[in-house]
Amino acid sequence: MDRKPDTDNLEMRLQALESRLYGERRNKSGKPVKCAESLSRIQAGLTNTANKRERVKILHKKIEDLLKYLDPQFTDHITVPDAMKLEFILAEEDFLLSQAALLEQVSSLQPLLDSTYIRAVFLLFTDVPEHATKLQRLSQIHIKEQDQIEVQSQEVKKLFEEYNKMMFLLSKQFTQWDETLRNMEEAKGIRPVE
């Protein structure tokens, strides 16, 4: 059932492509030119031509050989003698030996990877999805608490500012009262107590 819409869509796309390629051209019978028909005619013509000519038949049989010869590595295979390949290997001997030593070290450490501790760690990591939901929930709680702390910090800052303003005003008022009292004492001739 799903094949029908896919086929219809494909046919519409093919018709759009044909109209772009051929425009309004028509074949001899007056029907619009179809790409598939043209391609099948060309294929049939090439097949007929290939079957009539012996050289083309031979070429088709040797196509695998031709592909092998066209491969860039084929020339390396032909041009690099075995002695040269041996020199390449001997030049890399130190590197190959160090890699072999590392592989032996890995194989000697294999029993450690099979230990119960490593298995326990592995099991711990396989339980990560379970803990991920808990961690997500805790992260959300943490974010909410950070927001609440920010609000509380702003309120405390505001209270400190009001307190400082009040202290400044009280200090200023006491200074004025002290000045007024001092002026009154001087006017009456009373000596201030120190």
The DSSP code sequence of 53-96 is -HHHHHHHHTHHHHHHHHSHHHHHHHHS-HHHHHHHHHHTHHHH
Per-residue pLDDT tens over the stretch 87-134? 888 888 899 899 999 999 988 888 887 778 777 777 766 666 677 788
For residue range 9-39, what is the model confidence (pLDDT) as tens digits? 878 887 787 777 766 766 666 666 676 777 7
- Per the model's pLDDT, the better-predicted residue between 88 and 139 turns out to be 139
pLDDT for res 83: 80
Within a domain: 13: no
Task: Name the residue range of residue 64's domain.
Answer: 40-79
Nearest Cα neighbor of 10 from 35, 32, 30 is: 35
Between CA 34 and CA 18 the distance in angstroms is 6
Q: How many domains does the chain have?
A: 2
**Residue 192: CB partners within 8 Å, gap ≥ 6?**
182, 185
CA 11/CA 7 separation, integer angstroms: 6
Q: Of the segments 37-46, 80-89, 137-146, which one has the largest average pLDDT value?
A: 137-146
In a 13 Å sphere around the CA of 47, the CA atoms on its Cβ side amount to 6
Residue 24 lies in a domain: no
H-type alpha helices, the chain: 3-22, 35-52, 54-61, 63-70, 72-79, 82-91, 93-108, 110-113, 116-126, 128-188
Residue 6 placed within a domain: no
| Residues β-bridged to residue 32 | 26
Predicted confidence band of residue 165 (pLDDT cuts 50, 70, 90)? very high
Mean pLDDT across 78-85: 76
CA 2, 13, 20: angle at the middle one, nearest 5? 175
Tally the residues of the chain. Answer: 194
pLDDT of residue 167: 94
Q: Is 18 inside a domain boundary? A: no
Judged against a pLDDT cut of 60, whether residue 1 lies above it is answered with no
Q: What is the pLDDT of residue 192?
A: 61
Q: Quick check: is 139 in a domain? A: yes
Q: Which of 1-5, 46-50, 130-134, 159-163 has the lowest mean pLDDT?
A: 1-5
Distance CA 97, CA 104 (A): 10
| Residue 5 within any structural domain of the chain | no
Name the 3-class secondary structure at 32: strand
